[in-house]
Structure 1
Amino acid sequence: MARKRKGRDISGWLVVDKPAGMTSTSVVNKVRWALQARKAGHAGTLDPEATGVLAVALGEATKTVPYITDALKAYVFTVRLGQATNTDDAEGEVIAASDARPDDAKIKEALQPFLGEIMQVPPKFSAVKVDGQRAYKLARDGEDVDLAARPLWVEELVLADRPDADHVVLEMTCGKGGYVRSIARDLGQALGCQGHVKSLRRIWSGPFDAEDGLSIEQIDEMAHSPDLDSYLRPLEEGLADLPELKCTPEGAARLRNGNPGMVLAADVDYGDEAWASLDGQAVAVGIYKAGELHPSRVFVHTH
């Protein structure tokens, strides 16, 4: 019989402003420890040297993680022109250099092909799996990793600042699975001058903003106290991109048992994914069909 994990049955989201030099997994472990939570996970990995919003899901909110992972995200990042590195960021070794420095007009022009649905090759030093192994492990062992291009939706990519000839600051809004390091690498190649990411910050992710995030120091200060609980945001925020359907108590009872439940008419079409609520609380996520929600995920509220 599996051992039951110790901890509190708490559910919700805690928004963290991740510092540089810390892995996303370390942040989740810190939050789980500070809240003495039984279950926690995060929505969208940030590289260790990256900063910004890391949304940590607790308890039943972990069931809404895929919807935040799929949501649009925004980044501000600095590209160092004139150097390519083997990791596509400042942590790696310089593998190519150039004295060319394009002007702002050329940079703006070069950004255009990166908009919309693009195909992007992940960095060799990434967590993408190749034959069951992480690409970064193979790359560290000196193997030549050949990664397949994958689709990425880029909503916006603009030149925000040009501090000096060697650096450009870009802002990007994109969908799931984007690698900012690949954008910097590919932009440098398109400009004929090479490039890598010098610094990266995720400013928002779905409904969560970095400016609302707690620092690791604040989490440490409030650990194991009700003060930290007060920063928990409801799990329903993780469903912000899905339509909400109200259900009756009878419909909620059926949904909680994993059966289709009646929901009140709303602006959704047959086959749409939606979530059902009763008195503002999420009951289930599922597919809407002819007045009923067919549940795929059911939420258990402990209070």
Structure 2
Amino acid sequence: MGRKRKGRDISGWVIVDKPAGMTSTSVVGKVRWAFDAKKAGHAGTLDPEATGVLAVALGEATKTVPYITDALKAYTFTVRFGQATNTDDAEGEVIASSDARPTDDQIKEALGAFVGDIMQVPPQFSAVKIDGERAYKKARDGEEMDLAARPLWVEELVLVDRPDADHAVLEMTCGKGGYVRSIARDLGAALGCYGHVRELRRIWSGPFEAKDGLSVEQIDAMAKSPELDAHLLPLDAGLDDLPELRATPEGAARLRNGNPGMVMASDVEYGDTAWASLDGVPVAVGVYKAGELHPTRVFNLT
């Protein structure tokens, strides 16, 4: 028999404004400890030096993580022109340089090629798996890899500031799996001057915004207190992009057992993904078919 996990059966979302210099995994561990939660996870890794919204799910809310991971996200980031680094950010070694600097108009014109459905090669220092091993581990050993390009949807990419000739501040809204470092690298290449990310901040992810996030210092100060619990968002905050259906009592009972259950639908169509509730409590996420929700994830909330 497996060892029983210690901690509270607590479910919901905690929005953290992650500081630079801390890994996403460390933030999750901090939140789990502060809430004394049995289970925790996050929706979308941020690089250690990046800041901004990191959505941490506790308990049953971890079942809704994919819906935040798949949602649109927005970033502001500063590109440093004239230098390429082996990590595509300021933490790496400079591997190429140029005296060329683009004008504002040249930057704006080049950005068009990075909007819409694009193909993007991940950085050498990334969590992509190559032959079962993370790319960054191979890169640390000096191995150069031929990483395959991956599709990315970029909703918007705009120039928002130009502090000086060496730097440009951009804002990007994109879908799942985007590497901002690759955008900076490829933009520098397109402009013929090299480039890497100097600073990166995720300003929102799905329904969650960095301005609403707790700092690590606040989490430490309120740890294991009712004051901290008051900052816990409900599980269904992670289902904001999905339609809500009202389950009948009989339907809810069937859904909780993993079976299709009757729901009262409004504007959903056959085959839509939705979630069902009973008396305001989330019961399940699933696919709507002819008056019933066919569950893919069931919540055990009391």
Pairwise same-fold verdict (TM > 0.5): yes
Q: CA deviation at 1:218?
A: 0.2
**Matches of 2:111 and 2:141, distance apart in 1:** 34
**Matches of 1:146 and 1:4, distance apart in 2:** 43
Residues paired across the two proteins, number: 302
Classify the secondary structure of the residue corresponding to 2:89: coil
**Matches of 1:143 and 1:109, distance apart in 2:** 35
Aligned Cα root-mean-square deviation (Å): 0.5
| Runs of 5+ unmatched residues, structure 2 | none
In structure 2, the partner of 1:144 is 144
Classify the secondary structure of the residue corresponding to 2:264: coil
In structure 2, the partner of 1:273 is 273
Q: CA deviation at 1:268?
A: 1.3
Which residue identity does 1:275 align to in structure 2? W
- 1:112 aligned to 2:123? no
**Matches of 1:275 and 1:265, distance apart in 2:** 11
In structure 1, the partner of 2:186 is 186
Per-residue CA shift, 1:101-159, capped at 9, x if unaligned?
A: 11000000000010001000000000000010000000000111111000000000000
**Matches of 1:245 and 1:287, distance apart in 2:** 11
**Matches of 1:280 and 1:207, distance apart in 2:** 19
- 1:43 aligned to 2:31? no
Per-residue CA shift, 1:25-44, capped at 9, x if unaligned?
A: 00000000000000000000
**Matches of 1:20 and 1:53, distance apart in 2:** 12
Per-residue CA shift, 1:23-65, capped at 9, x if unaligned?
A: 0000000000000000000000000000000000000000000
Q: Which moved more, 1:244-253 or 1:202-211?
A: 244-253
In structure 1, the partner of 2:221 is 221
Per-residue CA shift, 1:157-180, capped at 9, x if unaligned?
A: 000000000000000000000000
**Matches of 1:268 and 1:192, distance apart in 2:** 49
**Matches of 1:176 and 1:165, distance apart in 2:** 31
In structure 1, the partner of 2:102 is 102
Which residue identity does 1:253 align to in structure 2? A
Classify the secondary structure of the residue corresponding to 2:68: helix
Q: CA deviation at 1:278?
A: 1.1
Classify the secondary structure of the residue corresponding to 2:117: strand
Q: CA deviation at 1:265?
A: 2.2
Q: CA deviation at 1:272?
A: 1.2
**Matches of 1:129 and 1:277, distance apart in 2:** 38
In structure 2, the partner of 1:288 is 288
Classify the secondary structure of the residue corresponding to 2:75: strand
Q: CA deviation at 1:204?
A: 0.4
Which residue identity does 1:55 align to in structure 2? A
**Matches of 1:23 and 1:295, distance apart in 2:** 34
Classify the secondary structure of the residue corresponding to 2:186: helix
Which residue identity does 1:260 align to in structure 2? P
**Matches of 2:113 and 2:231, distance apart in 1:** 41
Matches for 1:5-44 after TM superposition, within 5 Å: 5-44=5-44
Q: CA deviation at 1:271?
A: 1.2
In structure 2, the partner of 1:173 is 173
In structure 1, the partner of 2:53 is 53
In structure 2, the partner of 1:201 is 201
In structure 2, the partner of 1:164 is 164
Give the TM-score taking structure 1 as reference length: 0.99
In structure 1, the partner of 2:261 is 261
Classify the secondary structure of the residue corresponding to 2:182: helix
Which residue identity does 1:8 align to in structure 2? R
**Matches of 2:277 and 2:248, distance apart in 1:** 9
In structure 2, the partner of 1:300 is 300
In structure 2, the partner of 1:77 is 77
**Matches of 2:300 and 2:73, distance apart in 1:** 28
**Matches of 1:96 and 1:36, distance apart in 2:** 47
**Matches of 2:146 and 2:281, distance apart in 1:** 46
Write out the 4+ residue segments of structure 1 that deviate beyond 3 Å after TM superposition.
none
In structure 1, the partner of 2:128 is 128
Which residue identity does 2:298 align to in structure 1? V
Percent of matched pairs sharing the same residue: 82
In structure 2, the partner of 1:86 is 86
- 1:250 aligned to 2:250? yes
Q: Which moved more, 1:225-234 or 1:265-274?
A: 265-274
